[in-house]
């Protein structure tokens, strides 16, 4: 480690790695955005990155000077053909130059942030060295995580807006032909018109809402009893909640399938509404009992002293106090019910009774074009995302409180 702690080593090494990361990012970005072939030029990007890093450590220039100078240099290199981003023959020159310029600006500015605090080419202290490495890793982390999360969702949305021949022709072209106007959304129109997706959406919605209400109706009294009341077997009970919470659904799904087949509950929405709350009650119990324990018992005792019964105390004191927790639990349960796939897949066969996830599974066939499948995926994802982003505070709390479950 200590051999690396020289300005003339740290600067070029981090610079080379960083420019390679940036060049790859930019190449992917430009390929997706324009459909033209771009790729990072491995050796050139490492070489120019090392040069840039060395220069930055040695010369100590201002942020803007570095950025503009790098941008100009990269455009020049691109014209000669030895820039950090290479492009195929079909790529348009203007995009190539714009891309190189943008890469230069970004690289100059960010490398200045990563390496700017290094004193010079000589020996570095451990602090200075590790600080530079951490800044590099931080930058890399932001790019990496954003890319791995965003790309699948981006591909999902864009695929749903294209048609089969466009997809086969160039799988990297995610440009949107805005001249089509509403024609862009034809997959969605077909889903709702021909594939009955309006119905599935409604079924999923009311099944999820019913699940939330049923879950709360069962778990609030149960959680209160476990959290507040003294009775024999409370500790064992509290533990068995967590244990039940860990039983895999596939183990239960088999007997449930058999029982439902024999009683005629298979293939009915009633059966689904019956079974969904049971999968969510242990989660809700676990989350709510934790919250109820945190509430001050004194307030409830005051209510009892003033002559309220236990049930009235729950209704008039505990529940109003725990509204935020109830919101979190409801959201979380709604999410589980909305995303549930296994039971819907096993228990529903009749297309008129499908939930959204079951409907999407039925789109997965070679006869149905894949933009329909992706449009279906978007239809299922957007409501839960909107709900999540709108109520993020509750959702995050709910997730941390109870979601050890997958």
Partner 1 sequence: MSDSTGPASGPPRGTGPLLKREARLAWGLLFPTLAIVSAVVVLPLLAIFWISFKPIGLADLRPPAPVVRESLRGSDDSLRLQYRVRNSSQSEPITGVTLSDSLPDSLTVLTADPRCTFEGADFTCDLGDLDGGGRDEVEIFVALQGDEDAAEEAAEGTDPRMTGRSTNILTNFEFTLENFDRIFSGDEFWGVLGVTIFYTVFGTLGALIFGLFAAMLLNKEFRGQGILRGLYLFPYVAPVIAVAFAWIILFDPFSGSANALLIQMGVTTSSINFFGERPLALIMVTVFEIWRYFPLSFLFILARMQSIDTDMYEAADMDGASPFQKFWYLSLPQLLGILSVLFLLRFIWTFNKFDDIFLLTGGNAGTRTLTVNVYEQAFAISNIGAGAAVAVVVFCCLVLFSIFFFRYVSQEEGL
Among 218, 327, 368, 391, binds partner 1 (CB under 8 A): 218
Q: Which two structure tokens, joined as six digits, stand for 200?
A: 């599935």
Of 278, 308, 368, 391, the one binding partner 1 (CB under 8 A) is 278
Residue from the set 3, 90, 178, 230 that interacts with partner 1 by CB under 8 A: 230
Q: Site map for partner 1, 68-97, x if CB under 8 A?
A: --------------------x---------
Establish how many alpha carbons lie within 13 A of residue 303's alpha carbon, considering only the half-sphere containing its beta carbon.
16
Work out which of 145, 202, 206, 315 binds partner 1, going by CB under 8 A. Answer: 145
**Rounded CA gap, 78 and 95, in Å?**
11
Which of the residues 308 through 367 are near partner 1 (CB under 8 A)? 310, 335, 338-339, 341-342, 356-357, 360-361, 364
Give yes or no for residue 148 binding partner 1 (CB under 8 A): yes
Out of 89, 90, 127, 323, the residue judged to bind partner 1 by CB under 8 A = 127
User: In whole angstroms, how close is the CB of 52 to partner 1 at the nearest point?
Assistant: 22
User: Count residues contacting partner 1 (CB under 8 A)?
Assistant: 104
Provide the 8-state DSSP code for 118. -
Contact stretch for partner 1 (CB under 8 A) within 13-21, 100-108, 258-266, 317-325? 258-266
Residue 339 C-beta: closest distance to partner 1, Å: 4
**Does residue 374 belong to the site contacting partner 1 (CB under 8 A)?**
yes
From the list 48-56, 92-100, 178-186, 227-235, the region that binds partner 1 by CB under 8 A is 227-235
Which of 67/219 has CB closer to partner 1?
219
Residue 399 within binding range of partner 1, rule CB under 8 A: yes
Q: Are 136 and 115 in contact (CB under 8 A)?
A: no
CA distances from 124 to 2, 18, 57, 94, 168 (A): 9, 20, 11, 42, 53
Q: How far is the CB of 363 from partner 1 (least distance, A)?
A: 9
The dihedral built from the CA positions of residue 146, 152, 153 and 157, taken in this order, carries a sign that is positive
Q: Which whole-number Å values give the CA distances from 3 to 9, 114, 120, 133, in the listed order?
A: 9, 20, 16, 14
User: 78 is written with which tokens?
Assistant: 């691109």
Instruction: For tokens 């949107």, name the residue.
Output: 176
Indicate which single residue of 178, 231, 305, 366 sits in contact with partner 1 (rule: CB under 8 A): 231
Q: Residue 11 Cβ, how far from partner 1 at the closest point, in Å? A: 18
Q: Find where tokens 């789109």 sit.
A: 363
What φ, ψ does residue 86 adopt, rounded to 5°? Answer: -95, 160
Least distance to partner 1 from the beta carbon of 146, Å?
7
Least gap, CB of 291 to partner 1 (angstroms): 14
Asked if 404 interacts with partner 1 (CB under 8 A), we say yes
DSSP-H helix ranges across 60-194: 63-80, 93-115, 126-160, 164-169, 186-194
Q: Reduced to 3 states, what is the DSSP secondary structure of residue 85?
A: strand
Among 222, 265, 268, 368, binds partner 1 (CB under 8 A): 222
Interacting residues with partner 1 between 279 and 318 (CB under 8 A)? 281-282, 285, 310
The rounded Cα 17 to chain-centroid distance in angstroms is 27
22 in Cβ contact with 99 (< 8 Å): no
């Amino acid at each position: 480690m200590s051999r690396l702690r020289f300005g003339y080593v740290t600067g070029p090494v981090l610079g080379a790695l960083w420019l390679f990361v940036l060049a790859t990012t930019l190449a992917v970005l430009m390929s997706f955005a324009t459909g033209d072939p771009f790729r990072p030029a491995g050796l050139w990007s490492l070489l120019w990155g090392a040069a840039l890093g060395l220069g930055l450590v040695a010369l100590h220039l201002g942020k803007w000077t570095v950025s503009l100078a790098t941008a100009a240099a990269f455009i020049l290199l691109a014209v000669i053909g030895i820039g950090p981003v290479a492009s195929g023959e079909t790529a348009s020159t203007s995009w190539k130059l714009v891309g190189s310029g943008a890469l230069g600006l970004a690289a100059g500015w960010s490398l200045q942030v990563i390496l700017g605090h290094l004193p010079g080419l000589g020996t570095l202290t451990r602090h200075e060295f590790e600080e530079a490495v951490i800044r590099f890793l931080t930058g890399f982390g932001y790019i990496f995580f954003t890319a791995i999360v965003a790309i699948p969702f981006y591909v999902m949305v864009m695929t749903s807006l294209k048609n089969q021949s466009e997809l086969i022709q160039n799988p990297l072209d995610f440009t949107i032909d805005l001249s089509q106007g509403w024609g862009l959304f034809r997959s969605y129109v077909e889903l709702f018109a021909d594939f009955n997706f309006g119905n599935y959406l409604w079924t999923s919605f009311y099944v999820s809402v019913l699940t939330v209400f049923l879950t709360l109706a069962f778990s609030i009294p149960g959680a209160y009893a476990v959290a507040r009341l003294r009775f024999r077997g409370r500790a064992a009970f509290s533990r068995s909640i967590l244990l039940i919470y860990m039983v895999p659904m596939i183990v239960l799904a088999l007997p449930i399938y058999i029982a439902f087949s024999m009683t005629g509950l298979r293939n009915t929405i009633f059966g689904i509404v019956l079974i969904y709350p049971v999968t969510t009650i242990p989660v809700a119990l676990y989350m709510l009992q934790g919250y109820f324990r945190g509430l001050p018992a004194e307030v409830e005792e005051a209510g009892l002293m003033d002559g309220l019964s236990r049930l009235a105390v729950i209704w008039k004191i505990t529940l109003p106090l725990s509204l935020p927790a109830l919101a979190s639990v409801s959201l979380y349960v709604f999410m589980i019910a909305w995303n549930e796939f296994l039971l819907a897949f096993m228990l529903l066969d009749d297309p008129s009774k499908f939930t959204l996830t079951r409907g999407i599974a039925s789109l997965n066939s070679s006869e149905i074009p894949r933009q329909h499948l992706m449009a279906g995926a978007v239809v299922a994802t957007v409501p839960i995302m909107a709900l999540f982003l709108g109520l993020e505070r509750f959702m995050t709390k709910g997730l941390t409180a109870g979601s050890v479950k997958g």
